Amino acid sequence: MFDPNRVIFFDTTLRDGEQAAGVNLNAAEKLQIAKQLAKLKIEVIEAGFPAASPGDFNCVKTIAREVRGVTVAGLARTKEGDIRAAAQALTEAEHARIHTFIATSPLHMTHKLKMTPEQVVSEARSAVKLARSFVDEVEFSAEDASRSDIDFLIRIFKEAAAAGATILNIPDTVGYAIPDQFAQLVQAIITGVAAPAGVIFSCHTHDDLGLAVANSLAAVRAGVRQVEGTINGMGERGGNAALEEVVMSLKTRADIFGLTTGLETTRLYPVSRLVARLSGVAVPPNKAVVGANAFAHEAGIHQHGVLANRETYEIMRAEDVGSVPAVMVLGKHSGRHAFRDRLETLGYQLDDDQVTRAFETFKRLCDDKKDVTDGDIEAIISDQVLAITPEHSFELKAYAVGVGAGLATATVVILRDGEEMRDAGTGNGPVDAAYNAIKRAINFYPTLENFSIRATSPRSDALGETVVELQFGGVSAQGRGAETDIVKASITAYINAVNRLYTQAAARDIKLLAEPLNANRC
């Protein structure tokens, strides 16, 4: 039942968040995140845009089937085909929602849609009607609302509600709004639309001016009861509203808002880590709520205060957001049970097969290093367990590098369908040389868009974790590698990225050049 004092959350990490430049999550990764969002007790998960591609369709379908206890939403333009695709992808959901949208600002109507306001209203009306013929819950968004005419917004929201929309969303699509002005807009809409009881108003804000969270909170005070956002604020351009910040503001300042939420906030930190790792978008240390330093006190006077009474400098506790360091480090003598336990705490939900594979890798890693940290475990999981290996994928068999002053050489042997491909390359360092050797061996030359390497813990026996982004013919893909040997980690990441590039391209029906040659051209 609708409780007027409760704010519900709509997470769009998997849709709007994934539109962030350079982010490409595969189906297994999206499913992991969705399961974690369910544990966080998010009310609505926007799982994707089913009409966008067969890959998107299947992701939404899988999440709808496998994730329980939440509403799963699929995005759709007002086009009939989009609505039907969303409805079809959502058939197995416990609770399904179709989220349809059309732009309402003069700028978008004239230049993007090339439609008159009349046409836009009629599109919205028929889309909502059609969506309601499939599901009970339909959300309508007026894209670019913050730059739209108020009277027009009121009119189109009235029409959408009359056609059966149950959630009316007010997006600040381009991050243009300012809190008090946005609150006025929201209030004018809520008053003007005078929607029937049970219709929920919602906001969706972007962080182009760093105001996404402030605007969401202003909208809540003005009466919206659904907030849309993403974990870590991940999203296009400056990103979306960071859900963890919105919920902790509502909670910490309940004296101001007087509202409740249903979120299990102790799951915020694990889900934040999971999203950061799987997306490759790191969380800055000073990030509110989930940053590594969010609860660190450095200044002596602060430390003194906190020791005397935590509340002197802490407005919320690390435990409230689940940001608690591991009490126990795993090692050689840790059993499968302790390992599985730790995975759960870190936010992973794996099936038995996956746990078995991860545990084997963990045991191998214990031979290389004494203590295995959380960072190491997360790296193992995301590289070896969640990675979907496409058919005909490339695999590293052997490599050798030689490094001198200003010059390096590398030889690689790569397997594909049992066939060996080997070649050598030179470069200004071992990684450069190895990448040149790989490209020659598989006769495929993508562009390296991004390369990063970090240690999984602040120790010299840590794993080196490499993230590589490759681009070819308009398709881009990320690969990760984690090894105690950083050259091997870099090679693994590159080959994973090539494999993913092939999967992405196949999903979009793009042919990636000729098949690599089976070359023994050493």
Give contact residues for Mn ion (rule: CB under 5 A).
16
Closer by beta carbon to Mn ion, 169 or else 373 = 169
Closer by beta carbon to Mn ion, 123 or else 236 = 236
CB contact set of 48 (below 8 Å; sequence gap of 6+): 14, 15, 18, 30, 56, 57, 59, 60, 63, 74, 75, 89
Nearest-5° angle of CA 102, CA 71, CA 320?
110
Three-state DSSP state, 228: strand
Query: CB of 512: closest distance to Mn ion in angstroms?
Result: 30
Query: CB of 11: closest distance to Mn ion in angstroms?
Result: 12
Closer by beta carbon to Mn ion, 240 or else 323 = 240
Closer by beta carbon to Mn ion, 18 or else 469 = 18
Tokens of 120: 């836009």
Closer by beta carbon to Mn ion, 46 or else 123 = 46
Query: CB of 250: closest distance to Mn ion in angstroms?
Result: 21
Three-state DSSP state, 190: helix
Q: Which residue has the tokens 């699929």?
A: 74
Query: CB of 228: closest distance to Mn ion in angstroms?
Result: 8
Query: CB of 139: closest distance to Mn ion in angstroms?
Result: 13
Query: CB of 447: closest distance to Mn ion in angstroms?
Result: 28
| Nearest one of 368, 428, 369, 437 to 400, comparing CA atoms | 437
Give the pairing of strands 407-416 and 419-427: antiparallel
Closer by beta carbon to Mn ion, 11 or else 16 = 16
Closer by beta carbon to Mn ion, 143 or else 483 = 143
Strand ranges in 221-379 using DSSP code E only, listed in sequence order: 226-229, 260-261, 330-331, 371-372
Tokens of 482: 């984690």
Closer by beta carbon to Mn ion, 203 or else 462 = 203
Closer by beta carbon to Mn ion, 48 or else 390 = 48
Query: CB of 23: closest distance to Mn ion in angstroms?
Result: 14
Query: CB of 204: closest distance to Mn ion in angstroms?
Result: 6
How far is the CA of 15 from the CAs of 76, 244, 315, 510, in angstroms? 11, 17, 32, 22
Closer by beta carbon to Mn ion, 16 or else 82 = 16
Three-state DSSP state, 468: strand
Closer by beta carbon to Mn ion, 16 or else 378 = 16
Indicate the angle between helix axes 27-39 and 268-279, nearest 10 degrees: 170
Nearest-5° angle of CA 443, CA 445, CA 448?
145
Closer by beta carbon to Mn ion, 52 or else 379 = 52
Is the separation of the CB atoms in 478 and 452 below 8 Å? no
Sheet holding 464-472, edge to edge: 447-455, 464-472, 475-483
Query: CB of 206: closest distance to Mn ion in angstroms?
Result: 6
Query: CB of 173: closest distance to Mn ion in angstroms?
Result: 6
Residue nearest to Mn ion (CB): 16
Helices (H) and strands (E) in the chain, counts: 17, 17
Handedness of CA 20, 25, 27, 31 (dihedral sign): negative
Query: CB of 230: closest distance to Mn ion in angstroms?
Result: 9
Is the separation of the CB atoms in 93 and 64 below 8 Å? yes
CB contact set of 65 (below 8 Å; sequence gap of 6+): 92, 93
Helix ranges (DSSP H) in 328-407 = 336-346, 352-368, 374-380
Nearest-5° angle of CA 417, CA 421, CA 425?
150
Query: CB of 104: closest distance to Mn ion in angstroms?
Result: 14
